[in-house]
Structure 1
Amino acid sequence: MSTAFAAPPLSRDSDLPLAEQLAGRFAEMIRQHHLSPGARLPSVRSCAQTHGVSPYTVVAAYDQLLARGLVESRPQRGFFVRAQPVGPARATTPAPHPFQPSTPIDATTLIRGMFHEPGTRPMPGLGTLPPAWLDAAMLGAALRKVTQGERLEALSLHYGEPQGDQRLRDALSHRMAELGLRAAPEQFITTVGATQALDLVSRTLLRPGDAVLVDEPGWAVEFARLAQLGMRILPVPRGQDGPDLAVLAHLAQSHAPKLYVTVSVLHNPTSAMLSPGHAHQVLKLAEAHDFHILEDDVYGFLAPPHATRMAVLDELQRVILVGSFSKALSPSWRVGYIAAPPGLVERIVNTKLLTTLTTAPLLEQALAWCLEQGLMRRHCERVVAQLDAARTRCMQLIRSAGFQLLSAPQGLFGWVDVGVDTERLVIPLLEAGWLIAPGALFHAHRQPSTLMRINYASSQDARFWKTLQAEAMRLSSQRPSTAR
């Protein structure tokens, strides 16, 4: 496939039969991880209409994929991508815990597709800001500043501090104080992005078989990571004000969870914000049922300063706050942090030592300089202003296409209802050159959904919405969907 995803029409002048061309196209999508295990291929009739071929050609193509072990046929349901083996099976495989779901999707599919823009065209399914919105000049100036004279040798030729660079921890302490969180520099641990921060806390506090509460919808990579660690994942429905408190209380009473992983500020994928009332109730439940709260603040730099954070209300007693610079500054600057209760800091640092030893002091000092000079704050103010304009444009396009936005228009992401199962839109949109993030990706247990996440910053092209509208209407005319 081309780097922009869009594929040329099948050629009747080619030496390869049409069925072989079509099979090769799907095989390449699977090989490139653009179609994850469990993804459903278009129906025979739909695929034939899309590519202008006969149903017999599509059946022959699917038969070739079956023969190659790339897909499987499910009676009365269709054809689905098979999970490919990664190595020899073990002689003894422990039975899964009854509450532990299998990984809901191939999470690496999401990572490969959403964090590596496939071409010059902005992609609505991406989870990052467009490169043009980022400030490479600021990053370069920061690196030059902290590597002047003999500083380069000191920062480059030695291990960093296990807990993280002191200068950055000082700057983080000051930043959090501005948000109302009083945390000493000694309570911060630097990490390789927020993903490692989440992983270090999980590995420190949890053991295989422990129950973990998660938001649903939520971040699919987090579901997959916890499942891989052997945790029992307990989804809690997430609304505009926060988690469903009744479900949260029931699960806490029934399963004695050790941890609740949640996003209070600009929740992914809905951009919802936790209300103060919900925050207080969640903290009461955590105290009553003795579990920690892991609060993911990865989008905190894009949020208003008054946003409710449980870490502020709790003053880092049961709450552990993690964050990152990557979402607002640059995806390649993988610097994150943990703000933890004093009694957990040494345990988390020990886990960090066993996994990555230390983190890069050069980048950490460069980011400290950006914070100290107010450059990070001014950069984020510019990004927030651009997002405001992008949301206005996207709202017009969503309404024009006849779709509905189910979340408040704020932050980076919108949660859009298009009226048909969005997972069935993945392939036709991919072939038209658009990468989307269907709602099924954000559920701990895979299920059809008429919802999809859009990135406001990369969803402003009217051509995308026209293509999405046409494909949704085509699917709706074939079989009305009531998925949610």
Structure 2
Amino acid sequence: MHPAPARTLSSQLAERFAERIRDRLLAPGTRLPSVRQCAAQHEVSPSTVVAAYDQLLAQGLVDARRHRGFYVRDWARKPPSALAGSARAAIDSAASTDPAEARRRNAPISAATLMRGMFHSDSRRPQPGMGVLPPDWLDNDFMASALRRTTAGKGLHDATVRYGDPQGDAELRRVLAERLASQGIGAAPAQIITTIGATQALDIVSRTLLKPGDTVMVEDPGWSVEFARLGALGMRMLPVPRGADGPDLAVMARYCEAHAGSTEAPRLFVSVSVLHNPTGYSLSPASAHRLLQLAQRHDFHIVEDDTYHHLAPEHATRLAQLDGLQRTVYVSGFAKILAPAWRVGFLAAPPGLVEPLLDTKLLATLTTPSLLERALAQCIEQGQLRRHAERVRTRLDAARSRSVRLAQAAGCTFVAEPAGLFGWIDTGVDTDQLALRLLDEGYMIAPGALFHANRAPSTRMRINFATTQEAAFWQAFERVRDALGRG
């Protein structure tokens, strides 16, 4: 830290923490570094840190817990309460802090944090924890051309003076049905509902098939945003270990048998079957077949999230192929490959679920943007999206090779064979702690605890192959990791 005109070191330090708390880069419940740790990390005196923490207390951004430390408040939801005493009364010591609790509580990066980081990054550097491709990878001319054609003549007028079809633009649903058929998934246009991205499709399925308190089986490790979303809906989650071939079917069977006939019987299983997030695993045909038998025997539905299908091999096995959309609801979208702002997704469902799912969509959004849907239909039908996806896959293959070399040179090991957009690596240190320290270097990572339904501490982290090609990040990573190891 270096003094700025008319600003003390303590004010600078307090403002750094305050910005991160307000932008949710430090999630509610996060334990701030101890006074001694913070002083050493920022090369200031302990009294400077105490003064900075006092300022955060006065602003209502943190709580002071005697002999335990300073914790980020949920300031956006809770009105500031009376501040109890000075920050100095809450200085924690290593001797008085329970290590297991500190490890559990010191969890700076949440699912919402990663999403907010897409909009509130304090660095122009590529961010290793992001879940999307870099903007320049998505540059193209065909989307703008398709929009111009869609709005030509009376197109703009007709698409904006009335609501579109609640189920989605008929032309897009026809094109999607043809594309799904080429993948071996039989879905008539009447079985398809368009959504505002794949995330809304997942939400529609959950709100239709479940009620608060219902039991959902989820892959572990799995998608952190899905855990957060299901938790917010009040669902009870049962973690299912995910391996290279698919979910652990023995664990799923035990869950189903243990609760058979009761209200706690699993109602749904959520799976990313192809290029699983975060491991990159893809489901094997044998596992897919046994999984569908289990669903039939124990009467639960499966949501198959195929968000990364544009990056996947053509021969990859989908549950919806084998199931014929009987117990499976297939979900996908285009934001990952086309443009994040084009929030166009869809679901393909068994005929008997279409009307209930459509009712849920109507209650949430009425309709979806027909202009974008019509333009997207053109991009798919004319082959422009397919050629664009091929270019992206070629570029990602090269990026993956570079990123893997850099990660291994930095002493990391890959827990799963590198594939798709994400790598699942072991760092050798607690990645919650690593994430907090790397924020000071301008990097946001995705720590392993995020990808476990019970938020278990982990030495693993997920990296984005497209954003971890620079040696500068791995140099910062090594420096911070080694310092944690020495500590």
TM-score > 0.5 by shorter chain:
yes
Q: Does 1:435 align with 2:444?
A: yes
May I ask how many residue pairs the two structures share in their alignment?
A: 456
User: Corresponding residue for 1:368?
Assistant: 377
Q: Deviations over 1:94-114 (max 9, x none)?
A: xxxxxxxxx997543221114
Measure how far apart 1:124 and its partner are.
Answer: 1.0
Seen in structure 2, the aligned counterparts of structure 1 residues 13 and 155 have a Cα distance that, compared at 3 Å, is closer
Match of 2:248 among 244, 250, 255: 244
Q: Deviations over 1:317-340 (max 9, x none)?
A: 000001000001110000000000
User: Corresponding residue for 2:85?
Assistant: none
Q: What SS does structure 1 have at the residue aligned with 2:416?
A: coil
User: Corresponding residue for 1:53?
Assistant: 44
- What amino acid is the match of 1:296? D
User: Corresponding residue for 2:220?
Assistant: 216
User: Corresponding residue for 2:196?
Assistant: 192
Q: What SS does structure 2 have at the residue aligned with 1:233?
A: strand
Measure how far apart 1:119 and its partner are.
Answer: 4.6
User: Corresponding residue for 2:185?
Assistant: 181
| Contact 2:424-2:463 within 8 A present in 1 as well | yes
Measure how far apart 1:121 and its partner are.
Answer: 2.1
Match of 1:343 among 343, 346, 352: 352
User: Corresponding residue for 2:480?
Assistant: 471
Q: Deviations over 1:348-371 (max 9, x none)?
A: 111111111111111111111111
User: Corresponding residue for 1:229?
Assistant: 233
User: Corresponding residue for 1:34?
Assistant: 25
Q: What SS does structure 1 have at the residue aligned with 2:303?
A: strand
User: Corresponding residue for 1:143?
Assistant: 147
- What amino acid is the match of 2:38? C
Measure how far apart 1:388 and its partner are.
Answer: 0.2
User: Corresponding residue for 1:157?
Assistant: 161
Seen in structure 2, the aligned counterparts of structure 1 residues 83 and 229 have a Cα distance that, compared at 3 Å, is same
Q: Deviations over 1:391-426 (max 9, x none)?
A: 000011011111112121111111121111111122
Q: What SS does structure 2 have at the residue aligned with 1:28?
A: helix
User: Corresponding residue for 1:99?
Assistant: none
User: Corresponding residue for 1:82?
Assistant: 73
| Contact 1:423-1:438 within 8 A present in 2 as well | yes
Q: Does 1:113 align with 2:124?
A: no
Measure how far apart 1:236 and its partner are.
Answer: 1.3
- Aligned-residue RMSD, C-alpha: 2.1
After the TM superposition, which of the residue ranges 327-336 and 418-427 deviates more from structure 2?
418-427
Give distance in 2, aligned partners of 1:31 and 1:88. Answer: 14
User: Corresponding residue for 2:99?
Assistant: none
User: Corresponding residue for 1:314?
Assistant: 323
| Contact 1:135-1:379 within 8 A present in 2 as well | no
User: Corresponding residue for 2:101?
Assistant: none
- What amino acid is the match of 1:380? A
User: Corresponding residue for 1:24?
Assistant: 15
- What amino acid is the match of 2:174? D
User: Corresponding residue for 2:306?
Assistant: 297
User: Corresponding residue for 2:362?
Assistant: 353
- What amino acid is the match of 1:56? S
| Contact 2:327-2:350 within 8 A present in 1 as well | yes
| Contact 1:302-1:380 within 8 A present in 2 as well | yes
| Contact 2:193-2:346 within 8 A present in 1 as well | yes
| Contact 1:105-1:220 within 8 A present in 2 as well | no
Give distance in 2, aligned partners of 1:273 and 1:76. Answer: 47
| Contact 2:272-2:306 within 8 A present in 1 as well | yes
Q: Does 1:382 align with 2:391?
A: yes
- What amino acid is the match of 1:408? E
Seen in structure 2, the aligned counterparts of structure 1 residues 87 and 430 have a Cα distance that, compared at 3 Å, is closer
Seen in structure 2, the aligned counterparts of structure 1 residues 321 and 75 have a Cα distance that, compared at 3 Å, is farther
5+ long unaligned stretches in structure 1 = 1-9, 90-102, 479-484
Seen in structure 2, the aligned counterparts of structure 1 residues 307 and 118 have a Cα distance that, compared at 3 Å, is farther
5+ long unaligned stretches in structure 2 = 81-106, 259-263
Q: What SS does structure 2 have at the residue aligned with 1:260?
A: strand
| Contact 2:279-2:423 within 8 A present in 1 as well | yes
Measure how far apart 1:116 and its partner are.
Answer: 5.8
Give distance in 2, aligned partners of 1:49 and 1:136. Answer: 47
Give distance in 2, aligned partners of 1:19 and 1:430. Answer: 19
User: Corresponding residue for 2:84?
Assistant: none
Q: Does 1:331 align with 2:354?
A: no
Seen in structure 2, the aligned counterparts of structure 1 residues 241 and 81 have a Cα distance that, compared at 3 Å, is farther
After the TM superposition, which of the residue ranges 191-200 and 105-114 deviates more from structure 2?
105-114
Q: Name the % identity.
A: 59
Measure how far apart 1:198 and its partner are.
Answer: 0.6
Give distance in 1, aligned partners of 2:65 and 2:79. Answer: 25
Give distance in 2, aligned partners of 1:299 and 1:77. Answer: 43
> Could you tell me the TM-score, scaled by structure 1's length?
0.90
Give distance in 2, aligned partners of 1:296 and 1:178. Answer: 18
Q: What SS does structure 2 have at the residue aligned with 1:321?
A: strand
Q: What SS does structure 2 have at the residue aligned with 1:169?
A: helix
After the TM superposition, which of the residue ranges 125-134 and 213-222 deviates more from structure 2?
213-222
Q: Deviations over 1:238-295 (max 9, x none)?
A: 2222212222111222341111111001111111111122211211111111100011
Give distance in 1, aligned partners of 2:201 and 2:352. Answer: 17
Q: Deviations over 1:33-86 (max 9, x none)?
A: 111123332343332222111233323433443454433456776443232352
- What amino acid is the match of 2:184? G
| Contact 1:236-1:247 within 8 A present in 2 as well | yes
Give distance in 2, aligned partners of 1:114 and 1:218. Answer: 20
Give distance in 2, aligned partners of 1:139 and 1:465. Answer: 35
| Contact 2:109-2:447 within 8 A present in 1 as well | no
Q: Does 1:207 align with 2:211?
A: yes
- What amino acid is the match of 1:22? L
Q: Deviations over 1:193-216 (max 9, x none)?
A: 011101111111111111111112
Q: What SS does structure 2 have at the residue aligned with 1:295?
A: strand
Q: What SS does structure 2 have at the residue aligned with 1:329?
A: coil
Give distance in 2, aligned partners of 1:37 and 1:68. Answer: 15
User: Corresponding residue for 2:35?
Assistant: 44
